[in-house]
Amino acid sequence: MNQVVFWGTRGSLPVSLSHRDIREKIVAALTAANGKTFKTRTALDEFVDKLPFSVAGTFGGNSSCVEIVGDSNDHFICDMGSGARPLGQAKIARFGVPNPQTYHIFISHLHWDHLMGFPYFTPMYIPGNRIVVHGCHPDLEQAVRLQMQSPNFPVDYSMAGAKIEFDVMTPDQPRYISGINVTPKRQMHAGDSYGYRFESLDKTVVYSTDSEHKLENPDEHAEFSQFFRKADLVIFDAMYSLAEAVSVKADWGHSSNIVGVELCQAAAVKRLALFHHEPVHDDKQLSRLVAETRRLEQITRGSRAPLEIISAYDGLTIDL
């Protein structure tokens, strides 16, 4: 494994920038540029690169979809939220048609925000492609077919040109798939959710979203510390603040940035990616959240090695 690409990072449902959001970014950029002159495009680009991310960029609005790039020709994808649409388009643009590809798709759970990209995933309509949908829910195939049945969607599942297979995995049992060991783990979420630990010869990535953690349960803490153990990257559900996670939104099946830091520090993880962003949080709020999380990590680090904190956004590519 050498890269991770985020195609969708929002939780619950896709969102988009509003007219007001864009206007505020323009006003902030023009305010910062007041009195400056830019005689070349290069000078302008350099100025923009120095603006805060919340002004010059956006975390995006597609729901969960993450690609893990390995050494084989097969493609590894975690969840099929609305981010699966641009992912599919990128694959067609790169490989063209016909040029048969194999896609391994790992589904955390069957809620709509993690499946809704399937009907828009162009490679599924191209003959010669092979798509293997992995998950731990016995009704995995039924859930995928259901959203493409009338009246839910105008194109029926039977119109798929690719060969589609369904692989029901067993929690805690590793499966060797195209050069990578993949181990699913059951997580606390309505209808059950499953995280995945991906291990190659020299790298480990953990995808753990839609998972609630009970801080007062030492056994659960130990289990997930082991599941995350010495990972190069943990992609973690940080949808709520700690106050929300333990009070108003307790038992809603999500976690917080603070719990993510605690578990990753205990597991000696190298890098933590905050993920599954709350849809009502704008770019400013998410930028503050990652800054606060970094300060928390510094305060609580002690003698441990530093834990790098990032906040995932649509289009982010991480080299492992």
130-135 and 102-106 beta bridge pairing: parallel
Cβ atoms of 164 and 131 within 8 Å: the answer is: yes
Token pair for residue 163? 């060969």
What pLDDT score was predicted for residue 216? 73
pTM of the model: 0.94
Spatial distance between the Cα atoms of 164 and 84, rounded to a whole number of angstroms:
16
For residues 184-190, give the mean pLDDT: 91
Cβ atoms of 121 and 150 within 8 Å: the answer is: no
Which residue bears the tokens 């493409």?
148
Select the more confidently predicted residue: 213 or 32: 32
Spatial distance between the Cα atoms of 15 and 211, rounded to a whole number of angstroms:
21
pLDDT tens digits, 152-185: 999 999 999 999 999 999 999 999 999 999 999 9
What pLDDT score was predicted for residue 254? 58
Q: How confident is the model at residue 246 (pLDDT cuts 50, 70, 90)?
A: very low
The one-letter amino acid code at 44 reads: L
What pLDDT score was predicted for residue 74? 97
Counted residue by residue, the chain has a size of 320
The CA-to-CA distance between both ends of the chain, in Å, stands at: 7
Q: Which of 82, 83, 68, 9 is nearest to 276 (CA)?
A: 9
The sheet with strand 102-106 has its strands ordered as 163-168, 130-135, 102-106, 75-78, 65-69, 3-8, 317-319
Q: How confident is the model at residue 129 (pLDDT cuts 50, 70, 90)?
A: very high
Reply yes or no on whether the pLDDT at 294 is more than 60. yes
Reply yes or no on whether the pLDDT at 22 is more than 70. yes
Cβ atoms of 103 and 130 within 8 Å: the answer is: yes
For residues 286-307, give the mean pLDDT: 93
Which residue bears the tokens 């920038």?
17
pLDDT tens digits, 190-231: 889 999 999 999 999 999 999 988 777 788 889 999 999 999
| Average pLDDT taken over every residue of the chain | 92
What pLDDT score was predicted for residue 35? 87
What pLDDT score was predicted for residue 218? 84
In the chain, what percentage of residues exceed pLDDT 90? 86
pLDDT tens digits, 44-97: 999 999 999 999 999 999 999 999 999 899 999 999 999 999 999 999 999 998
Domains delineated in the chain = 3-16+58-319 (3.60.15.10), 19-56 (no CATH)
Q: What is the DSSP string of 123-145?
A: GGGSTT-EEEEEES-TTHHHHHH
Token pair for residue 177? 């798939």
Please list, in sequence order, all residues whose beta carbon lies within 8 angstroms of the beta carbon of residue 281, skipping any fewer than 6 positions away.
289
Measured between alpha carbons, how far is residue 156 from residues 144, 145, 153 in Å? Answer: 11, 8, 7
Spatial distance between the Cα atoms of 62 and 60, rounded to a whole number of angstroms:
6
